[in-house]
């Protein structure tokens, strides 16, 4: 039997079966009531992920024979704006509440500080098969383009050129709805939230226009891993028009970066060099030469490792914490390999690597050698602070060791790199 969780919010009043397009507009923050006490969003550490969970329009079934509903969402995080289309409101047989998408609308956006503002505009126009397909395709495209911009982020944030494309596509949705035959306005709603005050891993935002409702009677019922039902007084919430969003605090990046293959090859090259030295096919001098950065030999192992570290430091898709952990791993591998070769003791490489991986997986306080590497890399990454929108002490001093275990070496996934 799947586990069920309940989320609660607080306030007062009374609900009616209000028709979409009538009533008052409100937003509600639905937060976990008791068992989720983890810290809120912190710059340098976390990512923001936003899912569109469900969408409801209180109209009788005969309305949908003649009309299609669509709309737009604007997500603003600090000064970065993501314009998105909602596609079309499509009900499967017997349903009244439509799932908007089966995937995030904002995927693992690194949090650099600042507030979250959510705006939505919802309306309906006379049904037209071609317009319905265009609205659906435009909604899908805006999400793909916006997430493409996030995945290609630079020091200045998501790529502006791609964000402009997303805004242009969303403007086309607005133009279609504004020029549609017999347009019906349902709702225009906006609110701002301080992300650094949202506790826990998941928070939900309900944007609603309809009757005044008593917030203490709203609950979220989790059925299995993915289905979330919005309930009012124990029954499905079917008043007015509303959209439910989930704001997730993500500790570690869930995607794949372009340099992951280079990272895998670098680990293999370092290990192969140790094997060659151990079995006598490479001299001590030749091995050390490979493990020393050289302008004369930019293709030796050390030079390629330092090039990889530079790529990681400048990957602004990753959080400060993830980038630091990735680059420190490769500095550690290079350093441990050199020490093992100098000592003519390959086992030393294995032992010191195990100690490093134990430190980052168990969040135990490191020895001075490992601590020095992290402190050094922390300073190397402080140029990223120009992107932060608020002051933070995250990852400074002992906070680094208490939080490092919340992430992992992303590029080592499924490689058995001792982690």
Tell me: do 140 and 18 sit in the same domain: yes
b or e along 72-110 (b: 16 or more beta carbons within 10 Å of the residue's beta carbon)? bbbbbbbebbbbbbbbbbeeeeeeebbbbbeebbbbbbb
Tell me: do 246 and 345 sit in the same domain: no
Would you say residue 4 lies in a domain? no
**What is the rounded (10 degree) CA torsion for 88, 89, 92, 93?**
-130
The per-residue pLDDT for range 116-174, each reduced to its tens digit, is 999 999 999 999 889 999 999 999 999 999 999 999 998 888 999 999 999 999 999 99
3-state SS class at 228: strand
> How far, in Å, CA of 364 to CA of 376, rounded?
19
Would you say residue 9 lies in a domain? no
Would you say residue 1 lies in a domain? no
Q: Which two tokens stand for residue 258?
A: 């372009």
Tell me: do 137 and 188 sit in the same domain: yes
Using CA atoms, how far residue 133 sits from 57, 87, 137, 181, 416, in Å, is 19, 9, 6, 16, 46
Would you say residue 389 lies in a domain? yes
Q: Which residues contact 339 (CB under 8 A, 6 or more apart)?
A: 348, 349, 352
Would you say residue 417 lies in a domain? no
Domain boundary among 250, 278, 308: 250
pLDDT at res. 179: 87
Q: Which residues contact 65 (CB under 8 A, 6 or more apart)?
A: 127
* DSSP for 37-78, written as a single string: ------TTT-EEEEEEEEEEE---GGGGGTEEEEEEEEEEET
Name the domain count of the chain: 2
Only one residue has tokens 């979220």, namely 220
pLDDT at res. 403: 85
163-166 contact pairs (CB < 8 A, 24+): 163/80, 163/81, 163/82, 163/83, 166/82, 166/83, 166/84, 166/142
The model carries a pTM of: 0.89
Tell me: do 203 and 294 sit in the same domain: no
Domain boundary among 222, 250, 278: 250
pLDDT at res. 367: 86
Tell me: do 243 and 266 sit in the same domain: no
Domain residues for the domain of 283 are 260-412
> How far, in Å, CA of 278 to CA of 376, rounded?
31
Tell me: do 216 and 265 sit in the same domain: no
Using CA atoms, how far residue 335 sits from 269, 292, 339, in Å, is 14, 10, 6
Tell me: do 238 and 271 sit in the same domain: no
Would you say residue 335 lies in a domain? yes
Domain boundary among 250, 272, 298: 250
Report the DSSP pairing between strands 80-85 and 67-77: antiparallel
Would you say residue 129 lies in a domain? yes
Q: Which residues contact 2 (CB under 8 A, 6 or more apart)?
A: 222, 223, 224, 225
Would you say residue 385 lies in a domain? yes
The per-residue pLDDT for range 394-412, each reduced to its tens digit, is 888 888 888 888 899 999 8
Q: 147: buried, middle or exposed (CB in 10 Å: 19+, 13-18, 0-12)?
A: buried
Tell me: do 401 and 317 sit in the same domain: yes
Tell me: do 314 and 284 sit in the same domain: yes
Only one residue has tokens 């609205």, namely 135
Tell me: do 39 and 137 sit in the same domain: yes
Q: How many residues does the chain have?
A: 419
Tell me: do 317 and 386 sit in the same domain: yes
Mark the ranges of the chain whose per-residue pLDDT is less than 50.
1-15, 416-419
> How far, in Å, CA of 304 to CA of 293, rounded?
8
Tell me: do 239 and 348 sit in the same domain: no
pLDDT at res. 229: 87
> How far, in Å, CA of 194 to CA of 192, rounded?
7
Q: 380: buried, middle or exposed (CB in 10 Å: 19+, 13-18, 0-12)?
A: middle
The answer to whether residues 70 and 177 touch, using CB atoms and an 8 Å cutoff, is yes
């Amino acid at each position: 039997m799947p586990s069920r969780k309940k989320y609660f919010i607080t306030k007062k009043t009374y609900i009616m079966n209000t028709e979409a397009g009538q009533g008052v507009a409100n937003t509600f923050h639905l937060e976990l009531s008791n068992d989720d006490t983890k810290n809120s969003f912190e710059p340098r550490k976390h990512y923001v992920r936003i899912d569109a969970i469900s969408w409801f329009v209180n109209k009788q079934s005969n309305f949908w024979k003649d009309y299609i509903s669509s709309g737009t969402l604007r997500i603003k995080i600090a000064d970065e704006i993501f314009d998105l289309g909602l596609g079309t409101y499509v009900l499967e047989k017997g349903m009244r509440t439509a799932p908007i998408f089966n995937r995030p609308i904002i995927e693992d956006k690194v949090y650099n500080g600042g507030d979250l503002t959510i705006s939505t505009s919802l309306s309906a126009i006379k049904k037209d098969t071609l317009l319905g397909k265009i609205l659906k395709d435009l909604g899908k495209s805006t999400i793909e383009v916006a997430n493409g911009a996030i995945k290609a982020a630079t020091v200045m944030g998501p790529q502006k050129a791609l964000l402009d494309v997303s805004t242009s596509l969303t403007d086309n949705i607005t133009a279609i709805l504004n020029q549609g035959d017999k347009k019906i306005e349902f709702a225009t709603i906006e609110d701002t939230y301080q992300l650094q005050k949202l506790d826990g891993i998941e928070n939900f935002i309900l944007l609603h226009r309809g009757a005044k409702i008593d917030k203490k009677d709203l609950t979220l019922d989790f059925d299995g891993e993915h289905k979330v039902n919005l309930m009012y007084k124990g029954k499905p919430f079917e008043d007015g028009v509303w959209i439910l969003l989930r704001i997730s605090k993500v500790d570690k990046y869930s995607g794949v970066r372009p340099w992951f293959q280079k990272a895998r090859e670098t680990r293999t090259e370092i290990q192969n060099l140790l094997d060659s030295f151990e079995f006598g096919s490479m001299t001590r001098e030749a091995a050390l030469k490979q493990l020393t950065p050289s302008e004369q030999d930019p293709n030796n192992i050390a030079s390629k490792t330092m090039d990889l570290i530079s790529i990681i430091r400048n990957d602004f898709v990753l959080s400060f914490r993830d980038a630091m952990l990735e680059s420190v791993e490769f500095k550690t591998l290079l350093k441990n390999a050199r020490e093992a070769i100098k000592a003519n003791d390959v086992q030393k490489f294995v032992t010191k690597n195990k100690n490093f991986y134990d430190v980052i997986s168990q969040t135990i306080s490191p020895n001075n050698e490992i601590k020095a590497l992290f402190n050094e890399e922390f300073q190397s990454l402080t140029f990223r602070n120009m992107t932060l929108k608020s002051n933070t002490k995250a990852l400074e001093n002992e906070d680094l060791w208490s939080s490092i275990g919340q992430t992992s070496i992303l590029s080592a996934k499924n490689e058995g790199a001792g982690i």
